[in-house]
Amino acid sequence: MKILVLGGTAEARQLVAALGDAATLSLAGLTRTPLSMPHRVGGFGGAGGLAAFLQREGFEGIIDATHPFAARMSRNAFEAAAALGMPLLRLERPAWPKEPAWLEVDDLVAAAKALPAGARVFLTVGSLSLGAFVARDDIWCLSRSIEAPAHPPANGEVLLQRPPFTMQNELAIMSRHKITHMVSKNAGGAATRAKLEAALQSGVQVIMVKRPRLPAVLTVETVAEAVKWVENLGE
């Protein structure tokens, strides 16, 4: 079998390592720090371009292991697989269970509107998701990301860090910067979960952005299940 793995998560890298030569990892290239494993970088030109690439390169299946908020890529994968009649699997880690103290919102615009004037906000939504907060000049923002954002909120600071994060790290950040609110996407996983526990311990209000609605496809939560799916395709 020849499988294209659409990556952007730790699970994608683990899956490609487990599948070996059967898998090709594709990344959008949003993070400039290179991976040690072989991979292709860049977009495909929409669903049509992805379908043409799959057909041209002789792939026999797709595994969408992109970030839970990479909705456009997931839709492109769904449309390309449907056009080719190609097997498609979604590998997605479970979302974090809702905590009673969280304020859940549908998107980043709603998250920005929910912040009160004078808030000191820890933004943990990535360098490309800060646009909704730029106009809020009545709040102070600490923006954390792997890559430096092109247009961070003017009133605040930028913190460049790569997960995983420890409880000690998160508590220190919230104390040092006198954080009152934290905005997060519900990405799930253990690598960044410490921030939620630190917020609870520190009395910081968590504003959690719900996951976008993705196309209904066969979905598994673990790398082992994805490997089994590929093995079944070859039978």
- Please report, rounded to a whole number, the percentage of residues in the chain having pLDDT higher than 70: 96
How many domains is the chain partitioned into structurally?
A: 2
Give tens-digit pLDDT for 141-179: 999 998 899 999 989 999 999 999 999 999 999 999 999
User: Are residues 112 and 133 in contact, defined by beta-carbon separation less than 8 angstroms?
Assistant: yes
Interval 45-73 mean pLDDT: 96
Give dist(CA 94, CA 215) in Å, integer.
Answer: 16
Q: Are residues 156 and 89 in the same domain?
A: no
Q: Are residues 205 and 120 in the same domain?
A: yes
Residue 60 has pLDDT above 70, yes or no: yes
Handedness of CA 11, 43, 35, 197 (dihedral sign): negative
Give tens-digit pLDDT for 109-150: 999 999 999 999 999 999 999 999 999 999 999 999 988 999
Interval 2-25 mean pLDDT: 94
User: Are residues 192 and 164 in contact, defined by beta-carbon separation less than 8 angstroms?
Assistant: yes
Angstrom CA distances, 109 to 24, 43, 53, 69, 158, stand at 35, 26, 35, 15, 20
- Please report, rounded to a whole number, the percentage of residues in the chain having pLDDT higher than 90: 88
Phi, psi of 193 (to 5 degrees): -70, -25
Q: Are residues 45 and 108 in the same domain?
A: no
Answer whether residue 98 is part of any domain.
no
Position 31 scores a pLDDT of: 58
Q: Are residues 50 and 134 in the same domain?
A: no
Q: Are residues 139 and 199 in the same domain?
A: yes
Q: Are residues 132 and 169 in the same domain?
A: yes
The domain that holds 88 is classified in CATH as: 3.40.50.720
> Which residue range forms the structural domain that includes residue 10?
3-93+213-233
Answer whether residue 83 is part of any domain.
yes
Give dist(CA 231, CA 211) in Å, integer.
Answer: 29
User: Are residues 86 and 80 in contact, defined by beta-carbon separation less than 8 angstroms?
Assistant: yes
Task: Spell out the alpha helix ranges (H) of 60-209.
Answer: 71-84, 108-114, 131-134, 167-176, 194-202
CA 210 to chain centre: 12
Q: Are residues 202 and 223 in the same domain?
A: no
Residue 193 has pLDDT above 70, yes or no: yes
Give dist(CA 154, CA 141) in Å, integer.
Answer: 8
